[in-house]
Amino acid sequence: MRAEIVSVGTEILLGEITDTNSSYLARQLPSLGIDLYWISQVGDNQSRLVEVLKRAWQRSDLVLTSGGLGPTEDDITREAIAEVLGEKIGVDPSLEQGLRERFSQWHMAMPLSNLKQATIIPSAKPIPNTRGTAPGWWVSRDDRIIVAMPGPPAELQEMWQREVRPALQQMSEAIILSRVFKTSGLSEAAVGEMVAPLLSSSNPTLAVYSKADGIQLRLTAKAASQKQAEQVIAEGEIRVRELLDRYIWGTDDDTLETAAGRLLIEKGLTLSVIEDYSGGWLAASITDIPQSPVFFRGGLVACSDQAKIALGVDEAIISRYGAVSPEMAQSMAEVARELLKSDIAISTTGLLENENEPAGVTYIGISDGENSRAIRRSRGKRRVTTTALLELRRLLTSSN
Amino acid sequence: MRAEIVSVGTEILLGEITDTNSSYLARQLPSLGIDLYWISQVGDNQSRLVEVLKRAWQRSDLVLTSGGLGPTEDDITREAIAEVLGEKIGVDPSLEQGLRERFSQWHMAMPLSNLKQATIIPSAKPIPNTRGTAPGWWVSRDDRIIVAMPGPPAELQEMWQREVRPALQQMSEAIILSRVFKTSGLSEAAVGEMVAPLLSSSNPTLAVYSKADGIQLRLTAKAASQKQAEQVIAEGEIRVRELLDRYIWGTDDDTLETAAGRLLIEKGLTLSVIEDYSGGWLAASITDIPQSPVFFRGGLVACSDQAKIALGVDEAIISRYGAVSPEMAQSMAEVARELLKSDIAISTTGLLENENEPAGVTYIGISDGENSRAIRRSRGKRRVTTTALLELRRLLTSSN
């Protein structure tokens, strides 16, 4: 099945919003076995939208639109679809009743303009919208489908997951499943060499990607049923893990934060952080995961000598070794561990990039009470928080 | 001038990356007086790219492409443009020499495949790429222009700002300048009423937007020269400020962090923060601004009772008022102020959304040594950090 996405809205063409609906839908299609060939964005202009939809109707089996279903004059997606198909648009009594009920629940009179959202054409069926007043349209004619969805991402995603995706899944001939393996400590080339025997497999396929938090492998299976696809993935996973299990720190939606958190919880250990260079990003990324209250004891942000001393760092360390030194990184980790009473503490040090001095280094300190050590790394806040979490993982897995 | 954007890359169609180049370019065009009519994304498939580019060449005066300029087989933008224009593509000796010099600076042999990046057609001039090996193309023929730029956003943005934007600016008949005013403390409707006399002006125009950090107004002037446009903006700004100066906290690229930082620096005051609910985001957003070392004394992240007590919060406050209370917010602010020795401290409290209890509240505490108070707000980490910064601003401006 050959698909095309059309996003409607002048605010996209003005750059006021980024069209994230397209990338959301694009990510969803491969697992349905649907090939996406084109994406386009067009403004709230009926003749240009009609031109784009006519072409899509000719060349694609499935057209997904987002936006242009609101109640105002410049919401023109319904009218444009009706024009492309040469069908008459009219108010559907049951849609109208549903809309009126919704407004009366809100104790509001329905503005006349909202009647637009109760219109339909003969080839279309309404798709319920649980999050807004604009129903979608499922248009089916001549072996082709147009699915019109609302523009607000929360409404589109809910409609997609509840209604559109299950309907497309039923029509799909093949099930496609993927599993992502996330590694650290290896280069892309090294991973490629290690899994070379699997790269030529046609089902499952294996692909290697370089990401900010390390090299990833994506295993993809295609099969006639969910069960068969799961079987192909499971067999593939065994082979991947035979080759590089010890470098894999997570799968699929795992992040370094969730993976490290899981290890800490398994071992019953607690964590605290103290940040100079990363300025709070490490604490913020850890507190963003729902499990953090179980293991996270707290964070300290100390970018100046004064703040470090106020929190308990020995002034002599600063004068003897400087604020960016392995000794300081270790000392900071020990201070956080004691002050916040955690089993393990991590620290980050380093001068900010805007200082007048050549590209320098950062140090990450880690302490578990028995040992403390510092790791030297190049700059970049995100890279330093990533390294800090990888070092934490290394500590937790090596003490197995 | 009628423009169109074409982004090239199969990874966009797979949803692996979001096409942010399009929205970046879309935002740039209005100030050049260029109207954007279409955006489309197409995969690394030459026949489909040729189809899209042919249509663009017919209907648009200016076509901006991004992506597909790499050294590999599936980088096909150059070849597709050559095919659309029916021109012969060949290696340009000076481009080849430049590439070879770059590789020799890196002490690397140039792979043969990189020769692709030294190719050109008669109607194209190369555009220097200071951040990568792929030069852009400026294609000019039959009163139409194609500008081909590399896909990595850092390379595209640098090439756009250094080369493409200035060249388009020279061709533009009108200069368009904008100024954004950022307000707080007013609803969109209230701002609309206050500036009503200006909303009907056709030059400069004034538009009102609702954003996460408050209501914004965009003043836009169109004129034949930069100087005239600046004059129109300056006159418009006087009228805007007459109507709502005291609600404006910043302009253009100002953020709440930079605006608050500027006020603190002006007054010679220092700041610290202590976070429960916002878990480090407030410290992270403050340390992200380059001026923060001047005024920021440090941050504490204390999401558990244990951490709060370890940092010096009186246990009695927790038992008497609870961890989410105005008293706790004030007490935390006082603790941070003393521990980190700052003039002012802000705190955030509140239970995380994933707790099993109905939607609740958060409290923001603020203390300047003489007074401390707490502000009750609804949830959302970003909303709470925004409110915290607005409250800081309120304190700083009221003590004038």
Burial status of residue A60 (CB atoms within 10 A of its CB: 0-12, 13-18, 19 or more): buried
Rounded to whole angstroms, the Cα distance separating A101 from A94 reads: 11
Of B22, B37, B283, the CB nearest to A279: B283
Q: What is the reported pLDDT for A383?
A: 78
The ipTM, to two decimals, is: 0.73
R_g of chain A, CA atoms, integer Å: 27
Q: What is the pLDDT of residue B359?
A: 53
C-alpha closest to that of A27 among A39, A17, A14: A39
The residue in chain A having the minimum alpha-carbon distance to the alpha carbon of residue B352 is A290
- Out of B23, B40, B43, name the one closest to residue A40 (CB): B40
CB–CB contact A301 B298 (8 Å): yes
Q: How would residue A379 be classed by pLDDT, with cut points 50, 70 and 90? A: low
- Confidence category of residue A358, pLDDT binned at 50, 70, 90: very low
Look at residue B103 in the predicted model and tell me its pLDDT: 87
Separation of alpha carbons B147 and B127, rounded Å = 9
Chain B residues with CB inside 8 Å of A301's CB? 273, 280, 283, 287, 298-301
Q: How far is A304 from chain B (nearest CA, A)?
A: 7
Q: Got the DSSP string for B194-254?
A: HTHHHHT-SSSEEEEEEETTEEEEEEEEEESSHHHHHHHHHHHHHHHHHHHGGGEEEETT-
Query: How is residue A357 written in tokens?
Result: 């001095």
- The CATH H-level superfamily of B256-398 is CinA-like (3.90.950.20)
Nearest beta carbon to residue A15 from set B26, B37, B301? B26
Q: Which residue pairs from B94-103 have beta carbons closer than 8 angstroms and sit at least 24 positions apart in sequence?
A: B95/B119, B95/B120, B95/B126, B95/B135, B99/B133, B102/B133
Q: Does domain A175-251 have CATH number 1.10.132.50?
A: no
- Using a CB–CB cutoff of 8 Å, tell me whether A165 touches chain B: no
Write out chain B residues lying below 8 Å of A296, CB-based.
Answer: 303-304
Task: Indicate the Cα dihedral angle A195, A199, A205, A206, nearest 10°.
Answer: 40
What pLDDT is attached to residue B353? 57
**pLDDT at residue A400, as a whole number:** 44
Asked if the C-beta of A283 comes within 8 angstroms of chain B's C-beta atoms, the answer is yes
pLDDT of res. A393:
87
pLDDT on residue B379: 65
Cβ-contact A156, A164 below 8 angstroms: no
Task: Please indicate whether, in this complex, the C-beta atoms of A339 and B40 are within 8 angstroms of each other.
Answer: no
Q: B109: distance to nearest CA of chain A, Å?
A: 18
Looking at residue A143, its pLDDT comes to: 93
Residues in chain A closer than 8 A to B17 (CB atoms): 23
Q: pLDDT tens, B62-114?
A: 999 999 998 877 889 999 999 999 999 999 999 999 989 988 888 888 888 88
Top residue of A301, A305, A313, A338 to mutate, by most chain B CBs within 10 Å, is A301
- Measured in angstroms, the CA of A60 and the nearest CA of chain B are apart by 13
* Strand, coil or helix: B276: coil
Q: Are B22 and B50 a contacting pair, CB within 8 Å?
A: no
Q: What global pTM score does this model have?
A: 0.74
Nearest CA to CA, how far is A218 from chain B (Å)?
12
Provide the 8-state DSSP code for B75.
-
Q: Which residue type does A395 have? A: L
For residue A299, pLDDT over 90 is answered with: yes
Question: In a 10 Å sphere around its CB, with 0-12 CB exposed, 13-18 middle and 19+ buried, how is residue B14 labelled?
Answer: middle
- The CATH architecture assigned to A2-171 reads 3-Layer(aba) Sandwich (3.40)
Q: Could you tell me the residue ranges of all domains in chain B? A: 2-171, 175-251, 256-398
* Three-state DSSP state, B370: coil
Q: Which chain A residues touch B311 with a CB distance below 8 Å?
A: 298, 339-340
Subunit contact B40:A36, Cβ cutoff 8 A: no
The strand pairing partners of A206, in sequence order, are A219
Chain B CB contacts of A352 below 8 Å: 290, 293
Least confidently predicted of A210-214, A220-224, A338-342, B345-349: A210-214
User: CA–CA distance from B373 to each of A64, B119, B345 (Å)?
Assistant: 51, 66, 11
The closest CB to that of B42, out of A15, A38, A340, belongs to A38
Chain B CB contacts of A273 below 8 Å: 301
Cβ distance A310 to B340 less than 8 Å, yes or no, reads yes
Q: Tell me the one-letter amino acid at A370.
A: E
CB atoms within 10 A of CB B85: 21
Residue bearing the bigger pLDDT, B307 or A374: B307
* Chain A residues touching residue B20 (CB < 8 angstroms): 18
- Give the model's pLDDT for residue B2: 93
Q: What is the pLDDT of residues A177-214, one digit of tens each?
A: 889 999 988 888 888 889 988 888 889 988 888 777 78
Contact B23 A25 (CB under 8 A): no
* B123-to-B47, B149, B159 alpha-carbon distances in Å: 21, 16, 19
pLDDT digits (tens, 9 = 90+) for A73-128: 788 999 999 999 999 999 999 999 998 998 888 888 888 888 999 999 999 999 99
- Residue whose token pair is 């004891």: A297
How far the first Cα of chain B sits from its last, in Å, is 49
Identify the bridge partners of residue A346 per DSSP, sorted by sequence position.
A273, A366
C-alpha dist (Å) from residue B157 to A142, B24, B161, B171, B270: 44, 8, 6, 20, 36
The CA–CA distances, whole Å, from B274 to A163, A276, B154, B213, B342 equal 44, 15, 35, 21, 12
Contacts of A6 in chain B (CB under 8 A): none
- Chain B contact present for A212, CB below 8 A: no
Higher pLDDT, B354 or A345: A345
- pLDDT, residue B393, reads 87
Q: Of A30, A6, A42, A297, which Cα lies nearest the Cα of A169? A: A30
* SS3 sequence of chain A: CEEEEEEECHHHHCCCCCCHHHHHHHHHCHHHCCEEEEEEEECCCHHHHHHHHHHHHHHCCEEEEECCCCCCCCCCHHHHHHHHHCCCCEECHHHHHHHHHHHHHCCCCCCHHHHHHHEECCCEEEECCCCCCCCEEEEEECCEEEEEECCCHHHHHHHHHHHHHHHHHHHCCCEEEEEEEEECCCCHHHHHHHCHHHHCCCCCEEEEEEECCEEEEEEEEEECCHHHHHHHHHHHHHHHHHHHHHHEEEECCCCHHHHHHHHHHHHCCCEEEEECCCCCHHHHHHHCCCCHHHHEEEEEECCCHHHHHHHCCCHHHHHHHCCCCHHHHHHHHHHHHHHHCCCEEEEEEECCCCCCCCCCCEEEEEECCCCEEEEEECCCHHHHHHHHHHHHHHHHHHCC
Min Cα distance A399 → chain B (Å) is 26
List, for chain B, all residue ranges whose pLDDT scores fall below the cut of 70.
Answer: 352-360, 378-379, 399-400
- List pLDDT tens digits, range A113-166: 889 999 999 999 999 999 888 999 999 999 999 999 999 999 999 999 999 999
Is residue A379 within 8 A of residue A360, CB to CB? The reply is: yes
Phi, psi of B248 (to 5 degrees): -85, 120
Q: What is the pLDDT of residue B278?
A: 92
Q: What is the pLDDT of residues A277-294, one digit of tens each?
A: 999 999 999 999 989 999
Residues of chain B in contact with residue A336, where contact means CB-CB under 8 angstroms, are: none
Chain A residue numbers with beta carbons less than 8 Å from the beta carbon of B52 are: 38
Shortest alpha-carbon distance between residue A342 and chain B (Å): 10
A281 to chain B: nearest residue by CA? B284
pLDDT digits (tens, 9 = 90+) for A33-72: 899 999 999 999 999 999 999 999 999 999 999 999 988 8
Round to whole Å and give the CA distance between A169 and B324.
Answer: 46
Nearest by CB to A303, from B15, B296, B339: name it: B296
Nearest chain B residue (CA) to A17: B23
List all residues of chain A from 21 to 40 with a beta carbon under 8 Å from chain B: 22-30, 36-40
Q: Is A356 on the interface with B (CB under 8 A)?
A: no
B304 touches chain A (CB under 8 A): yes
Tens of pLDDT along B330-342? 999 999 999 999 9
* pLDDT classification of A236: cutoffs 50, 70, 90: very high
Asked if the Cβ–Cβ distance from B22 to A29 is below 8 Å, we say no
Report angle CA A254, A21, A36 to the nearest 5 degrees.
90
Report whether pLDDT(A170) > 90.
Answer: no
